[in-house]
Chain A
Amino acid sequence: MAKILMKGNEAIGAAAIKAGCKFFFGYPITPQNELPEYMARELGKAGGTFLQAESEVAAINMVYGAAGSGARVMTSSSSPGIALKQEGISYIAGAELPCVIVNIVRGGPGLGGIQPAQSDYYQSTRGGGNGDYKLVVYAPANLQEAVDLVMEAFDVADYYRNPVMVLGDGMIGQMMEPIEFREPKKRELPPKDWATTGTEGKRKPNIINSLRLDPAELEKLNQKIQAKYREIEKNEVRYEMYNIENAEIVFAAYGTTSRIVKNAIEMLKQEGINAGLIRPITLWPFPHKAFDEIPETAKAILTVEMSCGQMIDDVKIANNGRLPVGFYGRSGGMIPSPQEIVNKAKEMLGGAK
């Protein structure tokens, strides 16, 4: 199939429909509005239902309901809207239901601004809601990857019966790049025999619930979903290693920021400094083992984020005290420039020599 030029938000919607998404519930917020707009226009034609809810809280509970009935369902929002959805997300995780949640991140805290940011890393990977739960979190760095990951996200959600988040930012949502739709690798998906589809008097009712008042029963659920998370950590880790061989300094960056870092790597190369990049594609499960592959030549790790420093915690855990870990970040919708990153890298190397 020939490539097409699409805006990120629309491409995400198109990928969801290709993946068999039949329901979309959302509430408008910049910079992701083209996504629900696209779904409003296109999902009906694909035999699905688009519904603009009265609030984010309503939207996520509609997702809960549709997921409980076994349908492929998605919602999208941006940072403060995702904050409002956390209760529902925790319920969905507790009820072990599959769904896909898209967060096109904007600057915070609070209502913040509308320009790109990565300050929802904690919210996405640490459980923005209550309880011991995890979301699989994908962080695409370009639109082809966004499309591929959205399509795969539905399979991963169904396979593990767990909500999956696709984390972009205003830039991923707003920009245009060529994309093509490719089938994700085939997974054997179990039948949704747990879904509430009506018994027709032929079977015992299925119950979708996240309330378990018996502590022993609730602990058993926790043990079950934790075992599932260990499986996910074993099977679903994704990352890119870029120019890592003989690197004197290794950057850690994801999404939009990783692209800017690649420019910085080029600039450093021209000054005779060899720099590499570890780019987590799954933020959870975090690619810890990538950091074991950092060569002996490396003197430092520099984490670059559009936040005040969130992923750096995971980088430090993965690094396990081996190398000095530095940080450079911009926040509030400001985007780090390659030159700023180069300067910080040189400062770190100067200090390490």
Chain B
Amino acid sequence: MVNERIICAGFGGQGVMSMGQLLAYAGMIEGKNVSWLPSYGPEMRGGTANCNVTVSDTPIGSPIIDHNATAAIVMNLPSLIKFEKELEKDGILLINSSLIEKKAERDDVKAYYVPANEIAVEIGNGKVANMVMLGAYIELTKVVKVETVIEALKKVFGPSKAHLIPLNEKALERGAEEVRG
């Protein structure tokens, strides 16, 4: 049974909000209950952003993640420091090792280190680092199918940006490879 509570966090421009939205969108397409809750408030340019996403087979009570995250995807150092403690025991901690040198402090969570920016640049566009991380997360949890994320992407992008689909697909796949056992 699926009941995933994910925190996506990073600095503005890293695509953490859209990563979370895509996940929620894909969950909805697969008929699951989903919610997406952004942090909002005054924030300086380059400041941190995060969203809480729930994907569940059962109706969602509170959409707020409160020390019970099943996963955290952290794209920059401040996010790691802030959200590592939000994970429940055995939670998944996906760390963007391109920008974060620090290691996970807790030993009761499963930490994975993905050089998302390097992979994204390698496949042709640094902006898809978020999709690399999402690919890794989906590989680890199978919360939704990768094909459904692509389907969601097509809907979000529309025909004018359809040419970006293969790049995103590639990013998801490379992220998955990175954590495949």
Which residues does A use to contact B, with CB under 8 Å? 3, 5, 30-31, 114-115, 170-171, 174-178, 259-260, 262-263, 266, 335, 337-339
Contact = CB atoms under 8 A, between A and B. Distances in A.
Contact of A176 (B36, B61, B62, B64): B36
Nearest to B64: A335
A5 B37 contact: no
B76 interface: no
Contacts of B42: 114
A171 B63 contact: yes
A5 B21 contact: yes
A259 B63 contact: yes
A176 B66 contact: no
A31 B61 CA distance: 22
A263 B34 contact: no
16 contacts: A5-B21, A5-B24, A5-B28, A31-B40, A171-B63, A174-B37, A175-B35, A175-B37, A175-B38, A175-B63, A176-B24, A177-B63, A259-B62, A260-B64, A263-B62, A335-B64
Contacts of B33: 178
B41 interface: yes
Contacts of A176: 21, 24, 35-37
Given A171-B37, A178-B34, 12 more contacts: A5-B21, A5-B28, A5-B36, A31-B40, A114-B41, A115-B41, A174-B37, A174-B38, A177-B35, A177-B63, A259-B62, A339-B66
Given A175-B36, A176-B35, A3 B61 contact: no
B25 interface: yes
Contacts of A339: 66
Contact of B34 (A31, A115, A177, A335): A177
Contacts of B40: 30-31, 114, 170, 174
Contacts of A260: 61-62, 64
Q: Give the interface size bracket for B toward A.
A: 10 to 19
Contacts of B41: 114-115
B166 to A, nearest CB: 24
Contacts of A171: 37, 63-64
Given A114-B41, A338-B66, A266 B21 contact: no
A267 to B, nearest CB: 10
Interface in B39-86: 40-42, 60-64, 66
A199 B36 CA distance: 51
Top 6 closest pairs, chain A to chain B, by CB: A262-B61, A176-B36, A263-B61, A260-B62, A175-B37, A178-B28
A25 B117 CA distance: 45
B40 to A, nearest CB: 5
Nearest to A3: B28
B51 to A, nearest CB: 9
A203 B34 CA distance: 55
A175 B51 CA distance: 9
A114 B39 CA distance: 11
Contacts of A174: 37-38, 40
A325 B40 CA distance: 34
Contact of A177 (B36, B38, B61, B64): B36
Contacts of A262: 61-62
Given A115-B41, A178-B28, A338 B35 contact: no
Contacts of B25: 5
Nearest to B63: A175
A338 B24 contact: no
A174 B64 CA distance: 12
Contacts of A5: 21, 24-25, 28, 34, 36
A333 to B, nearest CB: 9
Contacts of B63: 171, 175, 177, 259
A176 B35 CA distance: 6
Contacts of B60: 259
| Most chain B Cβ neighbours within 10 Å, of A5, A175, A339 | A5
A115 B24 CA distance: 23
B36 to A, nearest CB: 4
A170 B40 CA distance: 9
A266 B37 contact: no
Contacts of A335: 64
Nearest to B52: A175
Contacts of B62: 259-260, 262-263, 338
A73 B27 CA distance: 35
Nearest to B25: A5
Interface in B14-40: 21, 24-25, 28, 33-38, 40
Nearest to B31: A3
A229 B24 CA distance: 42
| Most chain A Cβ neighbours within 10 Å, of B34, B35, B42, B60 | B35
Nearest to A256: B62
A114 B35 CA distance: 21
Contacts of A30: 40
Given A3-B28, A114-B41, A176-B24, A337 B35 contact: no
